[in-house]
Amino acid sequence: MTGDERERTIEALFDEQRQFPPPSWFKEQALVTTEDIYKAADSDVEGWWAKQADSVVWRKRWEKVLDWSDPPFAKWFVGAKLNITESCLDRHVAEHPDRVAYYWEGEPGDTRTITYADLHAEVCQAANALVELGLTKGDRVAIYMGMVPELPIALLACARLGLVHSVVFGGFSADALADRIEDAQAKAVITCDGAWRAGSVIPLKDMADEAISRTSSVESVVVVRRCGNEVNMLEGRDHYWHDLVYRQPRSIDAVECDSEDLLYLLYTSGTTAKPKGIVHTIGGYLVGTSFTHRYVFDIHDDDVYWCTADIGWVTGHSYIVYAPLANGATSVIYEGVPQYPDKDRFWAIVERYKVTKLYTAPTAIRTFMKWGDEYPARHDLSSLKLLGTVGEPINPEAWMWYHEKIGGGRCPIVDTWWQTETGQILISPLPGVTTTKPGSATFPLPGIAADVVDEAGNSVPLGSGGYLVLKRPWPAMLRTIYGDPGRYVDTYWRRFSKPDEGKWVYFAGDGAKRDEDGYYWLLGRVDDVMNVSGHRISTLEVESALVDHPAVAEAAVVGRADERTGQAIAAFVTLKGGVSGDDQLITELREHVSNKIGKIARPASIVFTDELPKTRSGKIMRRLLRDISERRQLGDVTTLANADVVHEIAEQASNLSNSEE
Ligand code: PRX
């Protein structure tokens, strides 16, 4: 979105007068119903987080809640010892072994019901298997799987041993996997033969083989057989999960970890071509995620909670694996796509498992809206009590549809703002307290100090927009970028901090506006990061994938507004001399990006142009390209070195239909 466009959108949002106080039936049963919790947190924030920390299991308590003596490198629950799986598994096995941890449903329709006792046993078996492979505390393990039960089990098995997991979303390419394996120097890879997607098999093991062949650190590969597709197994290196894991003992002592030991790496796109390995540690992450999960989703023992994200993203790490298990919740995991075998699959699942709390993405909601009301109407959705969204701003129209057609007009909606880096939800309603406005994530949660500032870092008055920042550390925050602390400081803390005055301010990369009532309205990224279907993709990453193709001389990529996916990727490509651009090359380039990064990064449209519009200093004018992509009236182009080219590109782009199938 351009600044103007954003301004128009937000003005439209501000016309949004509808308000939804917590329904009285909800309030009567809610965990939190008054604003006292915000005051309690503000009056002694560290003491208050320490109280929240009492709800998880520690082997040794901390000496200090927060060490912020070397900013921006935070330490939480300093000196404490724990193993996160004792909070997620052992205590529940002791108290309610037969409670269901996961109802798992495969895309073809097969199901598994996994109790806390079952989960504990299989996690221990998997951990014993990893010990047999020679892995020890601190080793990195790359995980590249579909949404099978063995995926959360693999994460937890690593955590049981103090191994650091690095999950790579199954939709990423072999190249992307190779980069991540290499950066983390992973010693083992856990994968599947294949993953089901809309009735076909994605050959994960083949892609993992290709990736591993380009790396040097991998000693063992464990393969879950899911789809039965043929795979190559390398003698001595590769092991089937069922051969290796199920013969192991069903218990193993959890390895004692420090609160600040690494729990996982999760790579995310930034404003350069190289993804960043976001580092999360154990103690603070457990406290921050379990607190927010319990209170944002108002989790009770009899809830059936379903977060539809993939575990390959942070939403899955925090709100499918660690927090729900720490809270002893019963969750649903679904393996496949929402349109298989028909477009009512999600609603069939809600009905089948009597889901009470549903957490999904605006892009999914907009897709469901487009498919039509008849699909949810086929099912009894009366079990639902609360709905959540995450990943991108939700437009009021989609919010209202979600509220009425899915929530039956009775369920509060929590629009939750957070990031891979923040680890936990930071801005969201508390459903028993907050009056919501469709399209607004409302307020920072208790203990969170957010602000909206101008270029100079000064708070802007209510009613204005600016940059979203965080002014105080929070427990689940990232600790650094793996292997690159300088980049951590530069990316997140350089822009608005004033180290001389002792002021450290985290810049989220998002624009936001507060209305007269102080409600936060998120406006999307202000940097060169696109948000496609709630997934973060860097323009530079796609550009460098395009330029990597032998026919391409130069490329510029922008995110243009798209009704369904939020943004769609629009590419402008200059070809090398003698190469002519045709439909065949467009297909080839899209395929090339898919191979370099993953299908999610394929440009929706590609325009060939003799030149890219540049300023006299040689900077590509992305704003203009965005205007062209969104078919807006072009503004003043006289500052351009090559002004004519703009009109040529605009003409070509206007003849273009989306090349996305
Ligand atoms: O731009 C914001 C958007 O998603 C970005 C974070 O992306 P990622 O690290 O992939 O994590 C997504 C899931 C936590 C943010 O910088 N975003 C996330 N949630 C919202 C949002 N934008 C508006 N409203 C939200 N609720």
φ/ψ of residue 55, rounded to 5: -85, 0
Per the DSSP assignment, residues forming a β-bridge with 180 are none
How much is the average pLDDT of 173-187?
A: 97
User: How far apart are alpha carbons 361 and 366 in whole angstroms?
Assistant: 9
Per the DSSP assignment, residues forming a β-bridge with 165 are 141, 264
> For position 660, what pLDDT does the model report?
44
Q: Which domains does the chain have, with CATH numbers?
A: 3-13+521-654 (3.30.300.30)
Q: How many CB atoms lie within 10 A of CB 46?
A: 16
Close Cβ partners of 186 (under 8 Å, ≥ 6 residues apart): 140, 141, 142, 166, 180, 215, 217, 218
The pLDDT tens digits of the residues spanning 406-419 come to 999 999 999 999 99
472 lines ligand 1 (CB under 6 A): no
Ligand 1 atom at minimal distance to the Cα of residue 529: 1
258 lines ligand 1 (CB under 6 A): no
Ligand 1 atom at minimal distance to the Cα of residue 418: 14
pLDDT for 50 beyond 90: yes
Instruction: Report strand pairing: 195-197 vs 529-532.
Output: unpaired
Ligand 1 atom at minimal distance to the Cα of residue 441: 26
Contact 72, 506 (CB under 8 A): yes
Higher pLDDT, 64 or 638: 64
> For position 273, what pLDDT does the model report?
74
How much is the average pLDDT of 91-109?
A: 98
Report which of 471, 506, 475 is spatially closest to residue 492, judged by C-alpha positions: 506
What are 17's two structure tokens?
């007068």
> For position 3, what pLDDT does the model report?
52
> For position 366, what pLDDT does the model report?
93
The pLDDT tens digits of the residues spanning 240-298 come to 999 999 999 999 999 999 999 999 999 998 777 788 999 999 999 999 999 999 999 99
User: How far apart are alpha carbons 282 and 276 in whole angstroms?
Assistant: 19
Q: Ligand 1 mean position to 439 CA, how many Å?
A: 14
The pLDDT tens digits of the residues spanning 305-331 come to 999 999 999 999 999 999 999 999 999
3-class DSSP state of 142? strand
What are 476's two structure tokens?
């689940």
Higher pLDDT, 78 or 525: 78
Percent of the chain with pLDDT over 70: 95
Residue 9 pLDDT level (bands cut at 50, 70, 90): low
3-class DSSP state of 193? coil
315 lines ligand 1 (CB under 6 A): yes
Can you list the alpha helix ranges (DSSP code H) found in 59-115?
84-85, 91-95
**Residue 302 DSSP class:** T
Residue 6 pLDDT level (bands cut at 50, 70, 90): low
pTM: 0.92
Query: Helices 583-596 and 174-184 meet at what angle, rounded to 10?
Result: 30
How much is the average pLDDT of 560-572?
A: 93
Higher pLDDT, 5 or 188: 188
Q: How many CB atoms lie within 10 A of CB 360?
A: 23
Can you list the alpha helix ranges (DSSP code H) found in 327-373?
345-353, 362-371
3-class DSSP state of 234? coil
Instruction: Report strand pairing: 465-470 vs 450-453.
Output: antiparallel
602 lines ligand 1 (CB under 6 A): no
Sign of CA dihedral 151, 271, 277, 214: positive
CA end-to-end span of the chain: 23
The pLDDT tens digits of the residues spanning 496-513 come to 999 999 999 999 999 999
How much is the average pLDDT of 559-568?
A: 92
Place of tokens 């690593």: 158
pLDDT for 661 beyond 80: no
CA atoms within 13 A on the CB side of 363: 17
> For position 274, what pLDDT does the model report?
82
Can you list the alpha helix ranges (DSSP code H) found in 569-635?
583-596, 622-629
User: How far apart are alpha carbons 423 and 446 in whole angstroms?
Assistant: 16
Higher pLDDT, 139 or 637: 139
In our burial notation (b when 16+ CB lie closer than 10 A, e otherwise), range 524-542 reads bbbebbbbbbbbbbbbbbb
What are 549's two structure tokens?
């193709």
Atom 12 (ligand 1) nearest CA: 391
The pLDDT tens digits of the residues spanning 378-431 come to 999 999 999 999 999 999 999 999 999 999 999 999 999 999 999 999 999 999
Contact 315, 391 (CB under 8 A): yes
> For position 333, what pLDDT does the model report?
98
Report which of 563, 568, 534 is spatially closest to residue 388, judged by C-alpha positions: 534
285 lines ligand 1 (CB under 6 A): no
Instruction: Report strand pairing: 386-390 vs 357-360.
Output: parallel
> For position 48, what pLDDT does the model report?
98
> For position 650, what pLDDT does the model report?
83
330 lines ligand 1 (CB under 6 A): no
Atom 15 (ligand 1) nearest CA: 419
Cis upstream peptide for 341 (omega within 30°): yes
152 lines ligand 1 (CB under 6 A): no
Atom 8 (ligand 1) nearest CA: 419
> For position 643, what pLDDT does the model report?
72
How much is the average pLDDT of 580-588?
A: 93
Mean pLDDT of the residues in the chain: 94
